[in-house]
Structure 1
Amino acid sequence: MQLTSLLPSLVATGDSFAPLFLRLSLGLMILPHGLQKTLGWFGGYGFQGTMGYLTNTVGAPWIFALLAILAESVGGVMLLAGVGTRVAALGVGGVMVVAAAQHWPHGFFMNWFGNQKGEGVEFFILALGLVLALLVLGGGKWSLDALLAK
């Protein structure tokens, strides 16, 4: 399949407010995590620190570590702008699946009261629901995808 035939299906979207709210929610949630990893904002370790942690401590191959950082930072901006919404959502979805797998041993619930060893998977399930909806619906109203589709 050529890129010219793939692009229309990637940017196709309706004129609904629902995907707008979904992508803004997901983008506003994930972008600060990306900024922690890229710029060290919000108490993060910055790009070098995060790459070191993901490759040396977690054992992720450098390419997967880089893709995770890009999915959260560049993907967050893409979601907010509504450009490449499906691609950005897919990237964030990949990060959420890996994170859920890492947190699965801690059960379902988040650790609101500090009475378990780590966070559960409920947050990641919620984020994956947003991702799946955006994969189906696209960027929606006020997205650059909608402009590109015309």
Structure 2
Amino acid sequence: MKTLTVPDETPVFPLRWVVATNDEAAPLVIRLMLALVLFPHGAQKLLGWFGGYGFDGTMQYFTETVNLPYLLSIGIILIEFVTPFLLIAGLFTRVVGVLVSLLFTGIILTAHVKVGFFMNWDGNQPGEGFEYHLLIVAMAVSLLLSGGGKLSLDNRLAK
């Protein structure tokens, strides 16, 4: 593949916008906290850790109970398991922001909007509301807009 160049013949990363970021600390904090929250959920689904059902059980639930397509089910599991590692490294943070925001918007619309906004603190609702999921979407969109920030591989690649 031919490398793109600007008029002074300096090589340009072909998808520079994917890694574009600044050296601010706020995206670092958001990346690390989002990774901390997402990882246990991904590990439940893929590995069966933290009381999860593992890959086979999760796939069975997604494809037979929720009636999701097989490939979409695999995608959901991989997004929740792989993106925390990308977030910690600050690698392709904007892409992670898109994936996580789309995933959690789908979760809100398909499973939680019918319950309402609030979490089920008192156990008197038929399920959980979407306030937690909305915070995840906000964090992911924030990273989509800002990039990886300080201590990110994106920052190094952008240079």
Is the TM value for this pair above 0.5?
yes
Which runs of 4 or more aligned residues in structure 1 lie more than 4 Å from their structure 2 counterparts after TM superposition?
2-6
| 1:7 CA drift (Å) | 2.3
1:113 aligns with 2:119: no
CA distance in 2 between partners of 1:123 and 1:9 (Å): 29
| 1:70 CA drift (Å) | 0.9
CA distance in 1 between partners of 2:38 and 2:58 (Å): 15
1:33 aligns with 2:28: no
CA distance in 2 between partners of 1:29 and 1:10 (Å): 23
Q: Which residue of 2 aligns with 1:24?
A: 32
Q: Which has the higher helix share?
A: 1
Q: Contact (CA 8 Å) 1:89, 1:135: kept in 2 or not?
A: yes
1:125 aligns with 2:134: yes
Q: Which residue of 2 aligns with 1:92?
A: 100
Structure 1, unmatched stretches of 5+, are none
AA partner of residue 132 (structure 1): V
Q: TM-score, normalised by structure 1?
A: 0.94
Q: How does 1:51-62 map onto structure 2 within 5 Å?
A: 51-62=59-70
Aligned-residue RMSD, C-alpha: 1.6
Bigger Cα Rg: 2
Q: TM-score, normalised by structure 2?
A: 0.89
Residues 1:52 and 1:110: Cα distance change in structure 2 (over 3 Å): same
Determine which of 85, 102, 105 is the counterpart of 1:77: 85
CA distance in 1 between partners of 2:23 and 2:156 (Å): 11
Residues 6-62 of structure 1 show CA distances to partners (whole Å, capped at 9, x for unaligned) of 521100110000100111111111111000011000000111111111111100111
